[in-house]
């Protein structure tokens, strides 16, 4: 039997594992703190952990970090790591330091099966879900290597966003323990407001997240009507906008923030006209408390799409803002090292024929004046 990877266990899981070894819960807590708070990778480092437990762990448990393939540091301080997850797959994480916070963007899958047209991960197809250990290993490595590098004993990473490769809500069972470890006071001790799950809209899992571990929620909207969203974010065909918005409203009853963030990738001539902005307003105003985060599209050759120019992004933002919707435009960070949103491409052994699916007909610009979308109630 192969040794258990202790990075796979949240505190309850570790307590159950230790119980099998005849050890009390407080021992599991000590062990958990050594791993996640202090970054120990070797049982011998865990000086106050009973020798007997250390002895039992040798051989049956390991702490398996992800091998690093590369590290790139951007002129703006952003760092991108490429981690080897085996079988020819690699995933990326990005560290984004800012004046008042430091955010780590982590991956949840090797590739992604949703297949959004504007996303390079989507174009790569899907290989497999990451394990809990592989998800948390990204934070574990970034946090503890940066502490050493910066000569800091205090926490470095203040925020985590699940906005790297993959759709976190299509890997729910592995993501959930990882979220608990991020929040655990014996682990990374992050507040719920500072951990964000970003989803393309897996409606049933939004409901489960609300019940199991309500953290901040970002939803990748990208289109104001179903016809266009069906094209850009194919999961919309299964969970259309109206159902998605209902799930979002419901989520707010438990969410740590009193708004949902809608991400909207600005694609030249596709979803960025004044009419699209007005449709968005009709869609959400009076229905859901939200903020818009406009993301200038980060191009990659296979997409065949273009970034809206700055004036267009500003004009679009102004229309939303004038209607009372809080709107920000995301600053592009780390684009000199291809670490910007949607550029995370890692290495994926696709099992889904993404290339075949993606090289379909061009996107038809769908503008239906006055209609906010299939199944969407008329605006007031």
Which residue in 74, 121, 261, 279 binds ligand SF4 (CB under 6 A)? 121
For the question of residue 167 being annotated catalytic, the response is no
Choose the one of ligand SF4, ligand SAH, none that binds residue 115, judging by a C-beta under 5 to 8 angstroms depending on kind: ligand SF4
**Per CB under 6 A, 135 contacts ligand SF4:** no
Q: Interface residues with ligand SAH (CB under 6 A)?
A: 112, 116, 118-119, 163, 167, 198-200, 220, 263, 265, 295, 297-298, 341-342
C-beta of 43 vs 297, nearer to ligand SAH: 297
Token pair in block for residue 156: 């470095």
CA angle 5, 206, 155 (to 5 degrees): 50
For the question of residue 92 being annotated catalytic, the response is yes
Which residue in 122, 133, 187, 299 binds ligand SF4 (CB under 6 A)? 122
Which residue in 40, 61, 96, 116 binds ligand SF4 (CB under 6 A)? 116
Strands, sheet with 102-105, edge to edge from the N-terminal-most edge strand: 68-73, 79-86, 89-97, 102-105, 159-162, 195-199, 216-220, 260-266, 290-296, 326-329
Report whether 90 contacts 109 (CB < 8 A).
Answer: no
Residue nearest ligand SAH (C-beta atom): 342
Choose the one of ligand SF4, ligand SAH, none that binds residue 265, judging by a C-beta under 5 to 8 angstroms depending on kind: ligand SAH
Choose the one of ligand SAH, ligand SF4, none that binds residue 295, judging by a C-beta under 5 to 8 angstroms depending on kind: ligand SAH
Report whether 54 contacts 46 (CB < 8 A).
Answer: yes
C-beta of 60 vs 302, nearer to ligand SF4: 302
Closest CA to 7 of 84, 64, 58: 64
DSSP state of 98: -
Distances (CA, A) of 133 to 2, 51, 139: 15, 25, 10
Nearest-approach distance from CB 126 to ligand SF4, in angstroms? 9
> How far is C-alpha 147 from the geometric centre of its chain's CA atoms?
23
Residues that bind ligand SF4 (CB under 6 A): 112, 114-116, 119, 121-122, 166-167, 200, 220
Active centre residues (catalytic): 92, 341
């Amino acid at each position: 039997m192969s040794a258990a990877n202790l990075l796979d266990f949240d505190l309850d899981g570790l307590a159950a594992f230790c119980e099998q070894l005849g050890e009390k819960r407080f021992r599991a807590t000590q062990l958990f703190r050594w791993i996640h708070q202090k970054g120990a990778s070797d049982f011998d480092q865990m000086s106050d952990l009973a020798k007997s437990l250390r002895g039992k762990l040798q051989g049956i448990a390991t702490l398996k970090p992800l091998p690093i393939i590369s590290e790139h540091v951007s002129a703006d301080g952003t760092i991108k790591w490429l981690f080897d997850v085996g079988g020819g797959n690699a995933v990326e994480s990005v560290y984004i330091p800012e004046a008042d916070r430091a955010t780590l963007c982590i991956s949840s899958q090797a590739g992604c099966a949703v297949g959004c047209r504007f996303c390079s991960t989507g174009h790569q197809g899907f290989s497999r879900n990451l394990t809990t250990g592989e998800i948390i290993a990204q934070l574990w490595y970034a946090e503890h290597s940066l502490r050493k590098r910066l000569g800091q004993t205090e926490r470095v990473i203040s925020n985590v966003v699940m906005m790297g490769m993959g759709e976190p809500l299509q890997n729910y069972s592995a993501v959930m323990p990882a979220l608990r470890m991020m929040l655990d006071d014996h682990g990374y001790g992050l507040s719920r407001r500072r951990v964000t799950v970003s989803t393309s809209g897996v409606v049933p899992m939004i409901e489960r997240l609300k019940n199991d571990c309500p953290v901040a929620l970002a939803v990748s909207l990208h289109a104001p009507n179903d016809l266009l969203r069906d094209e850009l974010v194919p999961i919309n065909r299964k969970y259309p906008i109206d159902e998605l918005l209902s799930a979002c409203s419901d989520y707010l009853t438990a969410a740590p923030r009193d708004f949902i963030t809608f991400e909207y990738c600005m694609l030249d001539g596709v979803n960025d006209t004044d009419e699209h902005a007005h449709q968005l307003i009709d869609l959400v105003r009076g229905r859901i408390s939200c903020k818009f985060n406009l993301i200038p599209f980060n191009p990659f050759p296979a997409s065949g799409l273009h970034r809206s120019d700055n004036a267009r992004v500003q004009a679009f933002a102004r229309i939303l803002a004038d209607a009372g919707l809080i709107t920000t435009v995301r600053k592009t960070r780390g684009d000199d090292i291809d670490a910007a949103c949607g550029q995370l491409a890692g290495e994926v052994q696709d099992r889904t024929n993404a290339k075949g699916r993606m090289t379909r007909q061009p996107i038809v610009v769908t503008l239906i004046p006055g209609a906010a979308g299939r199944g969407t109630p008329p605006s007031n």
